Amino acid sequence: MTSDNEYLDQVRRAMIGMARPVRDDIVRELRGHIAESAAANGGNLEASLAAIGPPREIGRHYREIYGYGKAYKTVFAAIAFLLAVPSVPVLVIGAETVFPFNLSIVFVVAAASWILWVGVAAGTQAGILTGLAGLVGRITAFGAVALRESGAITSTGGLVLLVAVSILFLVLGWIPGTAKKAWSAPRAEL
């Protein structure tokens, strides 16, 4: 037999990443709902908990509705920024150092994968924020090198590619959450 406290602890663990006040409100609401449901069915706590559903699914459902808290979104964005900086193909060219083009592709793929994952797991808002951080990371890295290396040569094609990939990061953050919403909408009956 599972107590309501054990059940609610499992729900709380499934809501990891959400803002604490939101989690506390949800747990408080669920506790009241469980008490009302148990009282209505003759004190059968097991039936009340079974009617609500598995605690992990309930927690994940609330996390999908309310999203991650600011701290998690900030971490997601910081990781995207850090992955995006070395994704600029040539950051340092000197007598001894060249940042290899192939290595920058690895970072583009890593940053894009991270942004996609955040968009799917944390929703559109977090995905867009993370994509924006990736965009800013690329532009910042390019700007820092352009300012430091006054004699650097840039081509129009290279700048277009830099901007296009940077904007793609933003789009990658937006698409998964939007698609998830569209695909999970109720389908019309024919």
Condensed to tens digits (0 to 9), the pLDDT of residues 51-90 reads 888 999 999 889 888 888 899 999 999 999 999 999 887 6
Q: Residues near 124 by Cβ (< 8 Å), separated by ≥ 6?
A: 173, 174, 176, 177, 178, 181
Angle between helices 55-66 and 4-14 (to 10 degrees): 40
Q: What's the rounded mean pLDDT across residues 168-172?
A: 93
pLDDT at 3 over 60: yes
Long-range contacts of 3-6 (CB under 8 A, 24+ apart): 3/45, 4/31, 4/34, 4/35, 4/38, 4/45, 4/49
Sign of CA dihedral 99, 104, 107, 108: positive
Q: Which residue has the higher pLDDT, 153 or 75?
A: 75
- pLDDT, residue 111, reads 96
Q: Which residue has the higher pLDDT, 157 or 112?
A: 112
Q: Is the CB of residue 120 less than 8 Å from the CB of residue 184?
A: no
- pLDDT, residue 21, reads 92
- pLDDT, residue 45, reads 87
pLDDT at 153 over 80: no
Q: How far apart are CA 67 and CA 12, in angstroms?
A: 14
Q: How far apart are CA 111 and CA 117, in angstroms?
A: 10
Share of the chain above pLDDT 90, in %: 42
- pLDDT, residue 1, reads 42
pLDDT at 9 over 90: yes
Angle between helices 156-184 and 70-84 (to 10 degrees): 150
Q: What's the rounded mean pLDDT across residues 2-25?
A: 90
Q: What's the rounded mean pLDDT across residues 7-20?
A: 92
